[in-house]
Amino acid sequence: MAVSWQPSVLTNGRTGPAKQVNNNFVTSVDLTRRQKFHPVSIAGTKRAFAETDAEGGAAQFSRQNDTEIRASKIVECSDEHVEEVQPYRPGSTPSVTQHPLLSLRHPSYDLPKQLVENFAGLGVHVIYPWQSSCLMRSGVLSQAKNLVYTAPTGGGKSLVADVVLLKKVLQNPAKKALLVLPYVALVQEKTKWLRRLVEGLRREECSEGPGMNAQKSRSPEITVVSFYGGSKSKATWSDCDVAVCTIEKANMLVNSAIEEGTIGDLGIVVCDELHMLDDEHRGYIFELMLTKLMCLQLGIQVVGMSATLANPEVLADWLRAKFFVAKYRPIPIHEHLVYENTIYPSANSKEFLKTASQLTSSDPTQRPSQPTRIIEKSLYQELSNPLTNAVVALAAETAEQGYGALVFCNSRASSQAIACLIAKTLHHIPASAEVTERRIDVLASLQALPGGFEPCLSDTVPSGVGFHHAGLTIEERDIIAEAYDNGTLKVIVATCSLAAGINLPARRVILNSARMGRDMVGPAMLRQMRGRAGRKGKDEIGETFLCCQKIELEPVAELLEAELPAVMSCLTPEKRGIKRAILETISTRMISTYEGLQEYAQNSLLWHTAPNHKMVLDMLDAAIVSLLKDKLIEVTEYDTYAPTALGNAIVASGLTPEDGLFVHADLRQALSSFVMDSEMHLFYLFTPIPHQTQSFATTSEVAWPTFRSLLEQLDDPSLRALRLIGINPALVNQLANSGLDNLPERTEDELRTARIYRRVYSTFALRDICNETPINTISLKYNLPRGTIQNLAQTCHGFAAGMIKFCQRMATPISHCAPDQSRNHDESTIGPDAQLIGAGTPARPTITNSEASGFSMLAAVLEHMQSRLYAGARADLLEMAQVTFVKGRMARLLYENGFKSVRALSEADAKKDILPIMMGISGWKLKQIQRDVNRSAAEEGDAEAGDLYEMRKRKLEEKLLRKAEIMVRSAAVIYEREVLRTADFEE
Ligand SMILES: Nc1ncnc2c1ncn2[C@@H]1O[C@H](COP(=O)(O)OP(=O)(O)OP(=O)(O)O)[C@@H](O)[C@H]1O
């Protein structure tokens, strides 16, 4: 269904007679004026049966048109079971007069006035008692004592870390801070927050200390920089005071600081979401990084926090930290179980378990606890399933009352379907003129996205509903999240990724079953989702509704009862092993002796959680032997361990040893026979190894018929390149005909072959991205969501940078320092009696000169390709693609319209020259607007459709003009910089 901007003719007796106003255009403003609409608190507010009866109840509604259905009413059961909801009362928090330490101005905190004012400006006037107690734990603020703490979601953990981190940076001007977060969205959000917090703050004067010279040349203001894969920021470690990073970037920064000898500049490392240590894919890098810091013993303060840590004491023991557990949640949450259209209270999981077992029990003496509210059954076909009916009714009720609801679904498809249903039920609810305008803006922003947008959003956004999942592009997700955050949208239906990745609070969190895909979510994820309910500053209470089917009652109850799993090391042999860890420490020259490596192992979480230490030492020995065998490390003439050029390149590029070896084989092959007359070989080298892209081209997602037709369309040189890489078109043809999904992956060789085929499949998509094919077209071609394609492009950015580093390192000869000359941190352990596994192993022949120069050439070629990858454009457009908003297709269109250089663009008139080109690109959007308007005019007999079209067209123009002006300004800046650079060069 397409968007209909005028909120269709009323069908509900409450707001106006159905279809009686034909030919009279009714705007949402008119509706808002007519309607008596008083938002009240939802929970604990009874709605009389009489009201429902007067309107005939849901059962009596008949369908008026396809766009509208009515959400079922939710009615109270009886007076005695009405849930008493105690809203948050600010008075219940102790005052500063009673507890002076609740003010950040208190001398014990010794914080600059400006920082305290900045906190107040962001809504923090008084801190919570637990925050104060945690900060006042001895040594936390003053003597760099490490700290591990937990508090419920929304409990205010970040404030404690912010205070400790900023105090460290402000009072130790030579020191830097690392703040590590697991998701890019969180990194971006936190960077913005910290930048606001440090406004107007200056580092204290200081004349001594390492790194001071570098610091002095910089401004005394605090610089906060974010680092994450795919970020286009050119900032470096030395430019910043606070680096906000993803886990991988943080580990790479620490590695290079150790290697360069600047690790002493690091004063504090804050790790948010510390429970991620448990995550086999990414979390184990947390452990590598923290183990190095523990081992270095340089007094770097480590602060770790999480809402879901079952064993904080173990982690505190490992990190030699104080630990603090807070249970405080400023906004109380009221939890409910919803089953068969009935809402039961479940104040805690025990009560839920009781309710659940009573509901499923065949024992008549087991009477279920009394429900509080009943959701009326629906006669609409779409709402016949009680689970869907409940979810839709609860979400619609929240939105109707003017609050925000977050609905979690188990899949992308179901989140879209549920969003459409909720939108249909909210279709008749008028929004204010201002909100309507804002929703128009949201749609215009979506329509202006170069990567296109999910058309289904046109159906939901006008009713104040959005959806959010990884199939959408980042830009779509950002627009939806922002619109929800500022109240333009009232409901977001999301997959679980939203709970972990973005900080969006809601009055109500509604779980449409507790599954992610087919599996039950884990207890930690469940907490994250439910913890989104009721945020300080936004809501007075929070409510969660876990809606489930009968067959799910028991597993859901078990899930709620389940203890959070203890956070364990991922360095065990069944998970990631210890090989990468050992290679990193040797490659960064942090450790070069066996004793040093043993000490490293003793500083790992693995050591603290392993059932016996001998097992860890055996693992260490096995890892050393394996690294020697793979020629990633070698034994030097001084009987120490040193990295080979390959080991060094692997660590510098952020790869695992296994991926590094895979990539190395490909690169060596490229060096020996590179297919120069096609770009396919280069694109392949830039394509991330399949498991890195996770969702793109995993085994099951290679569509062999598509693969075959892609091969058929290739020119000879490209096909030659692929054959050289290892692709056999006959095998692809065979797989396409057989309908089989997978290549066998039983042996090492089979694994490698399967990886190559999957990687080449992704290469085709990457080639399309670089050749300016619109993301929509690529998405259709591979039958994959646009978000997945975009994710591939982004992963490629990080991977490409890694490949370039890899080649550069392979081109740099490695020298082995004698023990007394090295910058090792373990010098003291090197002695004549030092035990050395693998001693006597012949050293790997050093890399030959011709190989080194080959890698150097490859690095240069890859660097050129990297710019194309960033720009998403062909080589002839690279210059233009430096300009803000000028990427891929836009660069091509400008070029074709005569703007062939940055200079030409800088001299353009945004309105006269650029806007028409942009409107040309947006032609399909105008057509879509016209279609929508025509359709609603036909349906509603709307005489003023022409005005509506003009209004939406004007909006689009305004938006595009703003973009065009930014483009011209950006081109002028780039051109000026270029002129200055040339002038410098000529002088
Ligand atoms: N003392 C305080 N006074 C007022 N608002 C506060 C206070 N402490 C924190 N907040 C606000 O409460 C909200 C939640 O805080 P925060 O993000 O730190 O929670 P959290 O414990 O880190 O939650 P999560 O586990 O979800 O990340 C934020 O908007 C924050 O600004």
458 CB-contact burial (10 Å; exposed 0-12 / middle 13-18 / buried 19+):
buried
Cα 414 to averaged position of ligand 1 atoms, centre (Å): 31
Strand locations in 383-472 (E): 405-408, 465-468
Q: How far apart are the two ends of the chain, measured CA to CA in Å?
A: 64
Cα 160 to averaged position of ligand 1 atoms, centre (Å): 10
CA of 532, closest atom in ligand 1: 26
CA of 536, closest atom in ligand 1: 12
pTM for this structure? Answer: 0.73
For residue 836, the model assigns a pLDDT of 55
Cα 277 to averaged position of ligand 1 atoms, centre (Å): 22
User: Is 938 a residue whose pLDDT tops 60?
Assistant: yes
Cα 352 to averaged position of ligand 1 atoms, centre (Å): 27
Could you give the percent of the chain with pLDDT greater than 90? Answer: 29
Cα 707 to averaged position of ligand 1 atoms, centre (Å): 49
CA of 538, closest atom in ligand 1: 29
Those residues with Cβ within 8 angstroms of residue 893's Cβ, 6 or more apart along the chain or in another chain? 917, 920, 921
Nearest Cα residue to atom 18 of ligand 1: 156
Cα 539 to averaged position of ligand 1 atoms, centre (Å): 13
Nearest Cα residue to atom 27 of ligand 1: 153
Backbone angles phi, psi at 642, to 5 degrees: -140, 155
Range 773-789 average pLDDT? 85
Range 331-348 average pLDDT? 82
Nearest Cα residue to atom 8 of ligand 1: 156
Token representation of residue 158: 């970040």
Could you give the percent of the chain with pLDDT greater than 70? Answer: 77
CA of 125, closest atom in ligand 1: 3
pLDDT band at 349 (very low <50, low <70, confident <90, very high): low
Nearest Cα residue to atom 9 of ligand 1: 156
Cα 159 to averaged position of ligand 1 atoms, centre (Å): 7
Cα 330 to averaged position of ligand 1 atoms, centre (Å): 9
CA of 158, closest atom in ligand 1: 18
For residue 94, the model assigns a pLDDT of 64
ipTM surpassing 0.95, yes or no? yes
Token representation of residue 723: 């054959």
For residue 280, the model assigns a pLDDT of 81
Q: Provide the 8-state DSSP code for 726.
A: T
pLDDT in tens, 673-732: 777 677 888 888 888 887 644 445 444 468 899 999 999 999 998 999 899 899 999 999
Range 490-511 average pLDDT? 84
Q: What are the residue ranges spanned by the domains of the chain?
A: 1-64, 101-325, 333-561, 578-629, 657-815+838-867, 874-986
Cα 502 to averaged position of ligand 1 atoms, centre (Å): 14
> DSSP letters of 728-753?
-HHHHHHHHHHT------SSHHHHHH
CA of 122, closest atom in ligand 1: 31
Cα 124 to averaged position of ligand 1 atoms, centre (Å): 9
Residues 266 and 980: their CA atoms lie apart, in Å, by 36
CA of 131, closest atom in ligand 1: 1
Tally of CB atoms within 10 A around 90: 9
CA of 128, closest atom in ligand 1: 1
pLDDT band at 319 (very low <50, low <70, confident <90, very high): very high
376/935: higher pLDDT: 376
Cα 923 to averaged position of ligand 1 atoms, centre (Å): 45
Q: Does 101-325 match 333-561 in CATH topology?
A: yes
CB 501 within 8 A of CB 529: no
User: Is 932 a residue whose pLDDT tops 80?
Assistant: no
User: Is 367 a residue whose pLDDT tops 80?
Assistant: no
Token representation of residue 463: 């009713």
Cα 109 to averaged position of ligand 1 atoms, centre (Å): 19
Residues 901 and 465: their CA atoms lie apart, in Å, by 42
Residues 877 and 406: their CA atoms lie apart, in Å, by 43
Range 69-93 average pLDDT? 61
Range 344-362 average pLDDT? 66
Nearest Cα residue to atom 14 of ligand 1: 154
User: Is 358 a residue whose pLDDT tops 80?
Assistant: no
For residue 369, the model assigns a pLDDT of 63
Cross-sheet strand order for the sheet of 333-339:
74-76, 373-375, 342-345, 333-339, 542-548, 508-512, 405-408, 491-494, 465-468
Q: Beta strands 633-635 and 641-643: pairing type?
A: antiparallel
> Any idea which residue has 């690790």 for tokens?
263
CA of 155, closest atom in ligand 1: 21
Q: Beta strands 405-408 and 465-468: pairing type?
A: unpaired
Backbone angles phi, psi at 828, to 5 degrees: -60, -25
Residues with CB under 6 A from ligand 1: 123-124, 127-128, 131, 151, 153-159, 307, 531, 535-537
Of 507-516, 736-745, 868-877, give the range with the top mean pLDDT: 507-516
pLDDT band at 428 (very low <50, low <70, confident <90, very high): confident
Cα 284 to averaged position of ligand 1 atoms, centre (Å): 27
Cα 691 to averaged position of ligand 1 atoms, centre (Å): 35
Cα 393 to averaged position of ligand 1 atoms, centre (Å): 30
CA of 159, closest atom in ligand 1: 18
CA of 330, closest atom in ligand 1: 12
Tell me the C-alpha to C-alpha distance, in Å, between residue 363 and each of 307, 356, 368, 418.
38, 13, 11, 36
Cα dihedral 482, 535, 222, 970 in deg (nearest 10): 0
CB 287 within 8 A of CB 318: no
Tell which one of 92, 103, 159 to mutate to probe ligand 1, the residue whose CB is within 8 A of the most ligand atoms: 159
Nearest Cα residue to atom 16 of ligand 1: 156
893/631: higher pLDDT: 631
For residue 814, the model assigns a pLDDT of 62
CA of 503, closest atom in ligand 1: 26
Cα 537 to averaged position of ligand 1 atoms, centre (Å): 9
> Any idea which residue has 């592009």 for tokens?
473
Of 168-172, 349-353, 548-552, 813-817, give the range with the top mean pLDDT: 168-172
Cα 535 to averaged position of ligand 1 atoms, centre (Å): 8
For residue 6, the model assigns a pLDDT of 35
Cα 200–Cα 205–Cα 210 angle in degrees, nearest 5: 120
CA of 306, closest atom in ligand 1: 25
Does the 333-561 domain belong in CATH 3.40.50.2300? no
826/690: higher pLDDT: 690
CB 789 within 8 A of CB 472: no
Nearest Cα residue to atom 24 of ligand 1: 153
Token representation of residue 477: 């997700």
Residues 405 and 951: their CA atoms lie apart, in Å, by 30
Cα 153 to averaged position of ligand 1 atoms, centre (Å): 8
CA of 126, closest atom in ligand 1: 1
Nearest Cα residue to atom 5 of ligand 1: 124
Cα 85 to averaged position of ligand 1 atoms, centre (Å): 22
CA of 153, closest atom in ligand 1: 25
Cα 584 to averaged position of ligand 1 atoms, centre (Å): 36
Tell which one of 536, 538, 539 to mutate to probe ligand 1, the residue whose CB is within 8 A of the most ligand atoms: 536
CA of 307, closest atom in ligand 1: 25
CA of 157, closest atom in ligand 1: 21
For residue 817, the model assigns a pLDDT of 53
Those residues with Cβ within 8 angstroms of residue 789's Cβ, 6 or more apart along the chain or in another chain? 696, 765, 769, 775, 778, 779, 782
Tell which one of 99, 132, 157 to mutate to probe ligand 1, the residue whose CB is within 8 A of the most ligand atoms: 157
Cα 327 to averaged position of ligand 1 atoms, centre (Å): 14
Range 19-38 average pLDDT? 38
For residue 230, the model assigns a pLDDT of 61
User: Is 42 a residue whose pLDDT tops 90?
Assistant: no
Backbone angles phi, psi at 607, to 5 degrees: -60, -40
pLDDT in tens, 217-260: 556 789 999 988 766 566 677 778 999 999 989 998 998 898 88
Instruction: Please state whether 942 falls in left (phi above 0), alpha (psi between -120 and 50) or beta.
Output: beta
pLDDT band at 421 (very low <50, low <70, confident <90, very high): very high
Tell which one of 150, 158, 193, 308 to mutate to probe ligand 1, the residue whose CB is within 8 A of the most ligand atoms: 158
Tell which one of 102, 106, 124 to mutate to probe ligand 1, the residue whose CB is within 8 A of the most ligand atoms: 124
Residues 793 and 198: their CA atoms lie apart, in Å, by 33
CATH code of the domain made up of 101-325: 3.40.50.300
Nearest Cα residue to atom 30 of ligand 1: 156
Quote the mean pLDDT of the chain.
79
Cα 157 to averaged position of ligand 1 atoms, centre (Å): 6
Nearest Cα residue to atom 26 of ligand 1: 153
CB 548 within 8 A of CB 168: no
